[in-house]
Amino acid sequence: MKILALYADVAGRDVIEHLRQLASLLKGMRVIHVNSTRVGGGVAEILEKLVPLMQELEIDTKWELIRGDEEFLECTKGLHNALQGNPKDIPKSLLNVYEKTNAQNAEQLRHELEEADIAFIHDPQPAPLLKFCPNRKGKWIWRCHIDISRPYHPVWRYFRNFVLGYDASIFSLADFAQPLPHPLYVIPPSIDPLSEKNVSLDGGEIESVYEEFGINLELPIILQVSRFDRFKDPLGVIRAHKLAKKFISSLQLVLAGGGATDDPEGEVVLKEVQEAAADDPDIHVLFLPPEADRTINALQRGADIVLQKSIKEGFGLTVTEAMWKGKPVIGGDVGGIRLQVINHHTGVRVSTPEGAALRIRYLLSHQDKLQAMGQKAREFVRENFLITRLLRDHLALMVALIYDVEDRIELD
């Protein structure tokens, strides 16, 4: 079965027909995506789906990688962190490696890149490629997947020189955009409804996951899925559970997440969480491996309410995932959560553990409201945050750039 047909069942036939018509304006165009990894991470996850979908729409799409050694990775990790606000300089020697590695990769990719009608260059790693392709024919777009709203200035000043020459940039939220002398497109993230993380599961599979962890599906369950990170406020969630449990004695809390093994701060937070949960058998702290997508899917589907009580957040795709499963979300009043959790419609936004506890009690004692919010949350995601919408935005952007649209164009 063709991939688009599978998405038609989830997103709607009209949506797929719309994509086909829009893509017909780009038929045969040569498009290239370049990033730094084919597996792991959000960018690879998106390209894994976006590239075959564009190919099926008869756009000649390729996906290429930029390769580098340990020093290159060390430099790009530093760049990544500094652009997200970490005030740490990068040694000149590493920056030289960064530029040299891009020059070497450009040697390999130059023909493909210079011949492409549209090149999407993802994140900071391959951004300097443009500088090494002086005879480029097409439009080049820098796709920034990270939050660079408040970058560490010395590093941004160095890096921005590589993106100034692009024809356009794409940011996930308007707040993340930095002033650059070209159009700054805003395309919010999306989830893939057919991935292991989001595909529908049968009741038996959900039951067996909960059974495996010794959690009673018959009793009320609240869940937070996130890294063990202070910005996700897992201790605040435990406090909210404790407060709500005074009124709902059978209330269970599941804190599920992983963490980078090279993140010492994550280990400290996990330990604090385990200590705070130690005296309550109704709190289940699950440290899951990165490949546990299906397990997380089952946990989200079995919960009554999903929490994302972050005190700082980018977009918050775990919120989108929970909403897609028909769950109301109690979320922190920050970042992209504000764009998804519409107060009293798709969930509730809170600022304190007390606020979260109050909303848990309210929703669990108003099952009709809980169900209605969950349904609305799912529809909200269906209309706005599925990968088909992300694809549509990319197609519209490509047409706008190819046809040099100022604010509107009518095509036959």
Partner 1 sequence: MVKDCAVVAIATGIHVQNLRELRDKLAAVPADSIYYHFWGSLLLPRFEEPEFNNDFAAWAYHGLRDPILAERLAMIDPTDFTDMEELRQELLEVVEERLYESEYVPWSKLDQQFHFMRSQIVVFDTHKRITDPKMLSVLVPSLSTGSIFYHFIDARRRSPEGVDDLSAWLSQFGDRYAELIKSIATIDPYFTTLAELRQMLSQLFKTHLEEKGR
Q: Is the Cα torsion angle 324, 330, 333, 334 positive or negative in sign?
A: negative
Instruction: Give the strands of the sheet with 305-308, arranged side by side.
Output: 283-287, 252-257, 221-225, 305-308, 329-332, 347-350
Among 72, 98, 132, 185, contact with partner 1 (rule: CB under 8 A)? 185
For residue 192, the minimal CB distance to partner 1 (Å) is 17
Residue 405 binds partner 1 (CB under 8 A)? yes
Q: Looking at beta carbons only, is 94 or 339 nearer to partner 1?
A: 339
Among 8, 18, 73, 293, contact with partner 1 (rule: CB under 8 A)? 18
The whole-angstrom separation of Cα 147 and Cα 124 is 12
Residue 174 binds partner 1 (CB under 8 A)? yes
**338 Cα distance to chain centroid:** 15
The whole-angstrom separation of Cα 144 and Cα 124 is 7
Stretch that binds partner 1, among 64-72, 167-175, 275-283, 360-368 (CB under 8 A): 167-175
User: Where in 287-346 is the site for partner 1 (CB under 8 A)?
Assistant: 334-335, 338-340, 342, 345
User: Where in 373-402 is the site for partner 1 (CB under 8 A)?
Assistant: 383-385, 389, 392-393, 395-397, 399-400
Residues 6+ apart with CB under 8 A from 216: 210, 252
Among 56, 58, 71, 175, contact with partner 1 (rule: CB under 8 A)? 175
Stretch that binds partner 1, among 10-18, 78-86, 250-258, 276-284 (CB under 8 A): 10-18
What DSSP string runs through 31-90? EEEEES-SSSSHHHHHHHHHHHHHHHTT-EEEEEE----HHHHHHHHHHHHHHTT-----
User: Exposure string (b/e) for 218-231, b if CB count within 10 Å is 16 or more?
Assistant: eebbbbbbbbbbbe
- CA-closest candidate to residue 7, choices 42, 41, 56, 44: 56
Q: Looking at beta carbons only, is 44 or 173 nearer to partner 1?
A: 173
Q: Is the Cα torsion angle 399, 402, 406, 411 positive or negative in sign?
A: negative
For residue 314, the minimal CB distance to partner 1 (Å) is 12
Six-digit token pair at 226? 């996130």
Residue type, position 191, single letter? I
**Binding residue count for partner 1, defined by CB under 8 A:** 48
Residue 412 binds partner 1 (CB under 8 A)? yes
Residue 14 binds partner 1 (CB under 8 A)? yes
Residue 411 binds partner 1 (CB under 8 A)? yes
Q: Looking at beta carbons only, is 165 or 183 nearer to partner 1?
A: 183
Residue 17 binds partner 1 (CB under 8 A)? yes
Residue 187 binds partner 1 (CB under 8 A)? yes
- CA-closest candidate to residue 382, choices 1, 4, 8, 2: 8
For residue 18, the minimal CB distance to partner 1 (Å) is 4
Residues 6+ apart with CB under 8 A from 352: 236
Q: Which residues form the interface with partner 1 (CB under 8 A)?
A: 13-15, 17-18, 21-22, 25, 171, 174-175, 177-180, 183-188, 334-335, 338-340, 342, 345, 383-385, 389, 392-393, 395-397, 399-400, 403, 405-412
